Amino acid sequence: MIRWGFIGCGEVTEKKSGPAFAKADGSMVCAVMSRDAAKARSYAERHNIGKWYTDAQELIEDPEVDAVYIATPPSSHATYAIMAMKSGKPVYIEKPMAQSYDECMRINRVSRDTGVPCFVAYYRRYLPYFQKVQELKNRIGTLINVQIRFAQPPKELDYNRDNLPWRVCPDISGGGYFYDLAPHQIDMVQEICGCIIDAYGLSSNRAGLYQAEDTVSACFKFENGLVGSGSWCFVADESAKEDRIELIGDKGMICFSIFTFQPIALHDSEGRHEYDIPNPEHVQFPLVQAVVDHLNGKGTCTCDGISATPTNWVMDRILGKF
């Protein structure tokens, strides 16, 4: 039985991830931490968790905590992950793995030196929807191009200059919405197509709602020579709203979404086919179960810090961080 302690109990833990740790075979949640005592206590009471803390070190040092789920903003991922691993406790980190490629490398070095596993919440790799995309890939021949297109209107909170969401504060998130949303897209195209070995980008702040970039364009190249491009706009008109990835092959094309889970569309010599693949109630459940099985010696989960780091490298390249 793996007994988890949560550092952070924000929105993502309410349905996407938190219940998955309680429902997975061989897993339970025994403690939760938030710097806000009222929030930690409320979360613990609502989810029948026995202990709550306001200090991360206290949770990590709790002898009843076997492993730690880090569900805080990216600026603290590296700190908490390193604290936990140096205490001998495996970690499961929310995406992006950290707020920079350099921080990811620090986490990986500590994991290597301590021998303590580090996993990252790129849960889409384990969802049936994206496994279906992998299955269909063979029907479009040799991949010749990949395109990512994403656009959404500003959120209501983006207009609140006195209290902006942390996701658009680069010192907390690592960037703007690009650094929050693009990781899932970039991780998935690498899962399907292989590692990206070169990437360039241009970014701009078009609406002036916050400091971070709100519009990004990029091109990239995979290790097998495949090339692709991406465009992201977080201040678009509602009419331009889009969530689409296209895998273009020499015998067809696959179109799918990352966030809206629109039916997968396959275009081949036989015409157009649609596949509507449902998700589990708690979308992180398949990955959480794989992590728990790994820690219980019942399997191997490869969604680790090593496989997650290239996504941060690509994002940092696109944003010109190095």
Do residues 220 and 196 touch, judged by C-beta distance below 8 A? yes
Q: pLDDT confidence of 45, banded at 50, 70, 90?
A: very high
pLDDT per residue as tens digits for the range 228-281: 999 999 999 999 999 999 999 999 999 999 999 999 999 999 999 999 999 999
Ranges of H-type helices in 16-125? 18-23, 37-46, 56-61, 77-86, 101-114
Q: Is residue 308 part of a domain?
A: no
Pair (165, 59) in one structural domain = no
- Angle subtended by helix axes 177-193 and 128-136, to nearest 10: 40
User: Residue 23: which CATH number?
Assistant: 3.40.50.720
CB burial of residue 60 (10 Å; 0-12, 13-18, 19+): buried
Report pTM.
Answer: 0.96
Type of residue found at 321: K
For residues 115-129, give the mean pLDDT: 98
Percent of the chain clearing pLDDT 70 (strictly above): 100
**What is the domain range of residue 240?**
128-278
Task: Indicate whether 111 and 165 sit together in one domain.
Answer: no
Provide the pLDDT for residue 322: 76
Answer whether residue 100 is part of any domain.
Answer: yes
Number of structural domains the chain divides into = 2
Q: Is 237 exposed, middle or buried (0-12, 13-18, 19+ CB in 10 A)?
A: exposed
